[in-house]
Structure 1
Amino acid sequence: MGQSPTITTGERSETESAAPARHMLIDGSLVGAPQSFRSVNPANGEIVGYAPDATVVDAEASVAAARRAFDETTWATDVALRMRCLDQFHRALVQHREELAALTTAEVGATPALLAGAQLDGPIDIVRFYADLLETHPFTEDLGNVESRGMQHHRWVEKEAAGVVAAIVAYNYPNQLALAKLAPSLAAGCTVVLKGAPDTPLVTLALGELIANHTDIPAGVVNVLSSSDPEVGASLVASPDVDVVTFTGSTPTGRAIMAAASATLKRVFLELGGKSAAIVLDDADFGTAATFAAFSMVTHAGQGCALTSRLLVPRAHHDAIVEMVKANFAHVRYGDPVDPKTYMGPLISERQRDKVDGMVQRAVAAGATLVVGGEKKDPGFFYTPTLLTNVAVDAEIAQEEVFGPVLVVIAYDDDDDAVRIANDSIYGLSGAVFGSEDRAVAMARRIRTGTFSINGGNYFSPDAPFGGYKQSGIGREMGVAGLEEFQERKTFASVVPGSAS
């Protein structure tokens, strides 16, 4: 998903030459590449900077470095070293927060409000969480003794690092996605090859530069790549020297990764798409629900896998709630993400905006009613908050992930009908419900998703596992569960001396 990066091999113009170039981190060294590609500001189309265009050879060198660091250094077994290095990384992130914020705004289109949350400050907190977790996390579990063959046998379980991790991230929340993979995998004792998204490579490269310049993380433990070539990611997935693949992105790509990884039976952790439903019960505060539905859907211009892009409303109250959502959309201020008054920034690229607009136009052609929105706005890649009604449950716009500021409203008849519609999806990432507490909780438990918001509750934090059911993914990020994704369990048994009867 996203616009194909532009490859630059010849001379740059004076304007282009002024744009900074960042470096990859491979085996402890910050390096470039013979070719580079532009990263473009989605709010105005200007060049933000240049990223090295890694090749498959670079990917293979990174995997080899990570393999050596795992097999030949003490990183996997030295918990104290990992704690110190994660603490150093956290301090570096905090110290360079404003630089990272400016880069994230320029490259991703993140607003100040988003930077204070899941675009930057929240991800920085993830590193702190795992650095602190190492102080208390039990790497050994005692199972006690058991009698067998006339002797006592003492048994225990040790949690070991899973090995070399290939971490591949999407463009929408590059700091969050990278650090939610980096921090727990490093805490577990793994070594990592991190590949940034082609649309937002510079943010990910900046993380690698901080690691190289401000931490004692040994050479090869973390390698950071940028590339416009899909074969680079494919080579990481297929490599026999990679033990774990963690990927965030589209469900079709996740399926392909799972298939490719099967050849070597490596562990695969996938955080994929969503088509989450927000359900408004007939005893809910409609105004609160409508505000949540409108403003959450346009967060980061709808470029979030867990956003509730389907609004399920009681049939008797359909029109009233639609009017409330429409009124809220009218108050959404979109534009320059640098402006603190801006609520919604741009889509990542012209290609993504065309995809969103195409889905909206097809929905209208199929019979949906365009209540408001559905307009491209220039300069930059802006798309107005869009509200659709009269949408069939099985329509493309109600089943497929749009990844844009588009909300569809679907009427339901009773609670059972609402549950049926919410669960009628290949996805199962998130959801929301508004209504009296007990009734809302009961309904939430019937929806097959990995996360759920009740009356606007926020589940997203470093200590809370995040992930989905069905084709929204496999595994969990964040929390203790996020650490355990990167651990193997080894069971031991030893005869207790002198226990023979």
Structure 2
Amino acid sequence: MSTLPEAKLYIDGVICRASGDKTYDVIGPWTGEPVGKAADASEADVDAAIVAARTAFDTTDWSTNHQLRFDLVKKMYELLLEDKERVSTLARVEAGAAIGAVSRAHLDMAVACYKDMLDLFPQVKWEKDYGRKGPEGYKSDRKVVYEAVGVVGAITPWNVPLYVNVGKVVSALLAGCTVILKPAPNTPGMGAIFGEWAEKAGFPKGVLNVVFGQDPALAGERLVNDPRVDLISFTGSTGVGKRIMEQGAKTLKRVFLELGGKSAKIVLDDAPNFAMDIASSMLIFHAGQGCAVQSRLLVPKSRYAEAVAILTKAYAGFGENWGEFDNPGHMMGPVISQRQMERVKSYIDLGIEEGATLIAGGKLRPDKGGGFFVEPTAFADVTNEMRIAREEIFGPVLVVIPFEDDDDAVRIANDSDYGLSGGVVSADVDRAVNVAKRIRTGSVSINNGMCIAGDLPFGGYKASGIGREWGVEGIEEFLESKVIAVGVPA
């Protein structure tokens, strides 16, 4: 397995080590051992990044020079394409991605979505004419101009780091903001590489900065509490999102959040290929570490026993086709850390205590290596009141819940604190659409439709977040609107 080069900070146009040359070990999920070192940023380093971003926004033409921004962000995209092999290694070694997962969300989807943002940039409206209006003596020619919010703190997670980093950094830069990227401590290299690309592309000093450290909260809290930072874009847990909202309120900071999920996949009784639709619901991709994964499988009571039998057989057939670092056919590797492994196992134990029936998995797998391996796991006989059905586990744990009819399926799907994504399967598309429209969630896949893409807005209802990422809407999240009215002489 690769030993990664030291991940360094990028502050005010300079790739640098942390003050005092402090570093920390990056622990590899596959081995449980150090796979590299990363700069351990201090409060002074974070402050220097804030000063640099503030100065770049306030004293340069970055926010108004649309062509310059586009050209440099496009150049960074070209550098990403040149670095795909290195990025793939980072995804595998830092984030624990299996090779099969790298070719999807970790790299290829991130690249495709980056290209979508470049293609969408011409659609962003920077000015809107509202025409002439007003009472006699006060008639005005009115327009609204759209301007960059300012300095953005982008706080990103470890599960699919390149994809989320692209979503925040590219959108904010295209909008004209300056950015401080704060990646998770587990995946600093996938943040540091943005600093390298910015330097190679010739970004103006301070426009993009990258800071990270061993303490998961230090840099993020500095960004949230500092009045010089105008907006926080955060992807992560709902608990941390609530804390960011609370702390950001002190400076009336704009906050938008992409948080947790407990998404439901509803397989209706007329599903066109019932056996395949059930079997394909196994929660194995990247060990279930995705906010939008469909971790609640809702099945009609009339076919519940059949569905459980299919799923049991599917998991048994899947067997040991996971957890090998060099196997190109594997979609699932370890979870990210010892802490996450213990958390997932605690939920598995809880499910058994709650009376659910374990139909697959349930064990830790130290025989797979020294890393953090949890078996693909599924529970039947689950009620929506159980904690394993209500709380985000963020691991390879599927729960199967029966429903009576379409109304009951919608009720169960909506009986959740979350509302990020979901799915409906039916031979009758109109019926599926009617069900989808009633689910309180930010995106719904019907018959395996792709509801997450770079040109589509992504975000959630309720505890799944505030605001939208990706699409034109994702760029517009980083804009302010200003009304200008010019009086017309009587």
Give 1:11's aligned residue.
none
Q: Is the 8 A contact 1:292 1:456 kept in 2?
A: no
Q: Secondary structure at the match of 1:30?
A: strand
2:313 and 2:374 map into 1 onto residues whose CA distance is: 17
User: Which amino acid in 2 is paired with 1:170?
Assistant: P
The counterpart of 1:396, out of the listed 375, 382, 387, is 387
User: Could you tell me how far 1:126 is from its partner in structure 2?
Assistant: 3.0
| Corresponding residue of 2:410 | 419
Q: Deviation string for 1:372-426 (max 9, x for gaps)?
A: 1001112121111111012221111010000010000111111111111111111
Counterpart amino acid of residue 354 in structure 1: E
Matched with 1:32 is 17
* Alpha-carbon separation, structure 2, partners of 1:356 and 1:173: 18
Structure 1 residue 325: Cα displacement: 1.6
Residue in 2 aligned with 1:318? 304
Distance 2:138 2:51 in 1: 45
Shift of 1:252: 0.4
Alignment map for 1:90-239 (pairs within 5 Å):
90-150=77-137, 152-212=139-199, 214-229=200-215, 230-239=217-226
- Whether the aligned pair in 1 keeps the contact of 2:7 and 2:188 (CA below 8 Å) is no
- CA–CA distance in 1 between the matches of 2:253 and 2:328? 44
Matches within 5 A, 1:377-396: 377-378=365-366, 379=369, 380-396=371-387
Q: What is the distance in 2 between the residues matched to 1:335 and 1:367?
A: 29
How far the C-alpha of 1:52 sits from its partner, in A, is: 0.5
Q: Matched residues in 1 for 2:126 and 2:104: separation?
A: 31
- Kindly indicate whether residue 7 of structure 2 is the aligned counterpart of residue 22 of structure 1: yes
Partner of 1:289: 277
Tell me how far 1:43 sits from its aligned partner: 1.4
Please list every run of 5 or more consecutive structure 2 residues that lacks an aligned counterpart in the other structure. Answer: none
Separation in 1 of the partners of 2:116 and 2:379?
40
CA contact (8 A) 2:100 2:329 kept: no
1:216: how far off?
A: 2.0
Per the alignment, in what secondary structure is the counterpart of residue 417 of structure 1? Answer: helix
Contact 1:249 1:273 in 2 (8 A): yes
Structure 2 residue 426 is the aligned partner of structure 1 residue 431:
no
**Paired position in structure 1 for 2:292:** 306
Note if contact 1:190-1:486 (Cα within 8 Å) is conserved in structure 2.
yes
| Cα deviations by residue, 1:24-78 (Å, 9 ceiling, x for unpaired) | 1011111112221111221122422111011111111111110000000110000
CA contact (8 A) 2:24 2:38 kept: yes
Comparing 466-475 with 123-132, which one deviates more in the overlay?
123-132
Aligned residue type for 2:45:
D
1-side partners of 2:253 and 2:57: how far apart? Answer: 16
What is the aligned residue count? 480
Provide the C-alpha distance between the structure 2 equivalents of 1:124 and 1:211, rounded to a whole number of angstroms. 16
Supply the distance in 1 between the matched residues of 2:4 and 2:54 (Cα, whole angstroms): 34
| 2:486 matched residue in structure 1 | 494
Matched, 1:350 2:342: no
CA deviation profile, 1:332-353 (whole Å, cap 9, x unmatched): 3211243211121111112111
Q: 1:365 — aligned with what?
A: 353
The answer to whether the 8 Å contact 1:39/1:202 transfers is no
Correspondence 1:83 to 2:70: yes
Paired amino acid for 2:324: D
Pairs within 5 Å for 1:234-245: 234-245=221-232
Percent of aligned pairs with the same residue? 44
User: Aligned equivalents of 2:115 and 2:4: distance in 1?
Assistant: 32
Report the Cα offset of residue 128 of structure 1: 2.5
**Which residue is equivalent to 2:326?**
338
Establish whether residue 250 from structure 1 lines up as the match of residue 242 from structure 2. Answer: no
- Work out the CA distance in 1 between the residues paired with 2:241 and 2:138: 49
Query: Residue 410 of structure 1 corresponds to which residue in structure 2?
Result: 401
Shifted more, 481-490 versus 363-372: the winner is 363-372
Q: Render the CA deviation track for 1:424-467: whole Å, top value 9, x for unaligned.
A: 11100011111121111100111000011101111111101110
Contact (CA 8 Å) 1:105, 1:338: kept in 2 or not?
A: no
Letter in 2 for 1:103: L
Aligned equivalents of 1:331, 1:102: Cα separation in 2: 29
Tell me the distance in 2 between the aligned counterparts of 1:338 and 1:490.
Answer: 54
TM-score normalised according to structure 1 size: 0.93
**What is the deviation of 1:326?**
2.0
Provide the rounded CA distance (Å) in 1 between the counterparts of 2:432 and 2:325: 35
Task: Please give the alpha-carbon distance, in whole angstroms, between the structure 2 residues aligned to 1:137 and 1:148.
Answer: 32
What is the CA deviation profile of residues 250-302 of structure 1, one whole-angstrom value per residue up to 9, with x for unaligned ones? 000000000000001111010000001111111113123213311xx211100
3-state DSSP of counterpart to 1:135:
helix
Render the CA deviation track for 1:108-157: whole Å, top value 9, x for unaligned.
Answer: 12233322222112222333233333334221111111142335411111
Equivalent in the alignment of 1:8: none
- Quick check: 1:464 aligned with 2:451? no
Q: Quick check: 1:450 aligned with 2:438?
A: no
Q: Which shifted more, 283-292 or 90-99?
A: 283-292
